[in-house]
Structure 1
């Protein structure tokens, strides 16, 4: 009888130990998984990179263009050597102006190729040392004289932000956002029904109404991500 009781007690101790070991193993395994997931999550966070090469300029500039059109978009602008060149040839309707690496922050723009005479004239006047209002006035006179035409509805996509660092995996620039400019030459608040001042973020309004440079502005939401 004593032997039978002893056997029962011994079996109970073994079962208790096995249960404890399983609980410990399960807890340790769960902890290991959680630690691994946290580690992988931390490691997957990509380090931002400064724009230091012409390839970086092209990659970040193309973020201004619609995603499906980036491969065929032409990219122009200042290269890292400070020369205004064609950084990438294109075969679709878009021209992308890359960020100027010698200026603070980031600013790239994508526009329809039919806007190039207007844009090129602005760049030429700026190179001559003309200020913003002078450029506006000169192009106003020239537009009225028919020296160039701004197509109604032609759109400018501006991708800009306070920093010039980007994610090398996605080419997204840190804190950069998109805003849109839709050109409507000579349009007014009355002809469009749009306000002449912004009502709120992401709401359209008309800027420079009644001029060659009249356009609808659509700015990004204040809390919008890249």
Structure 2
């Protein structure tokens, strides 16, 4: 009889111990509501061009950044004036994919000269050579050493109107160090591993440190 009573008592104890675990397991497997998928829209208005260009700037600096570039009518305009150190360049709507940029104001003479030469029909090599000569001659200002260019780019000109984020876009950063070399910086002339910093165009006016961050999932 005593054994039977002990057996009942033990069964009750085991049930009491297992019940919370079963409830926790059930709660853990409860289906969570799924997030609504983002509906991307074409970047086909001036407002969309400006919103996506500002994504290239650091978040805290977007409100005060100046925005310039080609509008949907093909005119080079100022979309909005700025109050801080950044100038954002909108994606060119006449080119495939998406490519917006944001750079330090001190780089504007260098950037503007490049746009001017491109408008004249000069190719990339010609633009490089002309600006190299002009910088060395003191005719063209390269801006502050260490001035940065932030690039926001991707394969699709589609964006989320709620956030300004562009479909599949990622960031790349350029730090301009005119005439710097691997020896003067300690950086390699090729990335040692993917996403490692390296120096491009060393020893020239356009010497710069390339930094490509990891993307989500890498």
**TM-score between both structures, scaled by the size of structure 1:** 0.80
| 1:106-185 equivalence runs, <5 A | 106-150=98-142, 151-185=144-178
> Which ranges in structure 2 are unaligned for 5 or more consecutive residues?
1-26
Once superposed, which parts of structure 1, at least 4 consecutive aligned residues long, lie more than 2 Å away?
none
In terms of fraction of residues, the more helix-rich structure is 1
CA contact (8 A) 1:195 1:206 kept: yes
Name the SS of the counterpart of 1:195 in structure 2: coil
Name the SS of the counterpart of 2:62 in structure 1: helix
> Which ranges in structure 1 are unaligned for 5 or more consecutive residues?
1-29
Name the SS of the counterpart of 1:224 in structure 2: coil
Name the SS of the counterpart of 1:64 in structure 2: coil
| 1:42-57 equivalence runs, <5 A | 44-57=36-49
How far apart are the structure 1 equivalents of 2:102 and 2:88?
Answer: 4
How far apart are the structure 1 equivalents of 2:76 and 2:192?
Answer: 38
How far apart are the structure 1 equivalents of 2:87 and 2:51?
Answer: 14
How far apart are the structure 1 equivalents of 2:72 and 2:192?
Answer: 39
Q: How many residues align?
A: 188
Q: Which moved more, 1:210-219 or 1:192-201?
A: 192-201
How far apart are the structure 2 equivalents of 1:204 and 1:118?
Answer: 23
Of 41, 53, 61, the residue aligned with 2:53 is 61
Q: Which residue of 2 aligns with 1:96?
A: 88
Q: Does 1:83 align with 2:59?
A: no
C-alpha displacement of 1:199: 1.8
Give the aligned CA root-mean-square deviation in angstroms.
Answer: 1.5
C-alpha displacement of 1:51: 0.6
Of 178, 190, 195, the residue aligned with 1:197 is 190
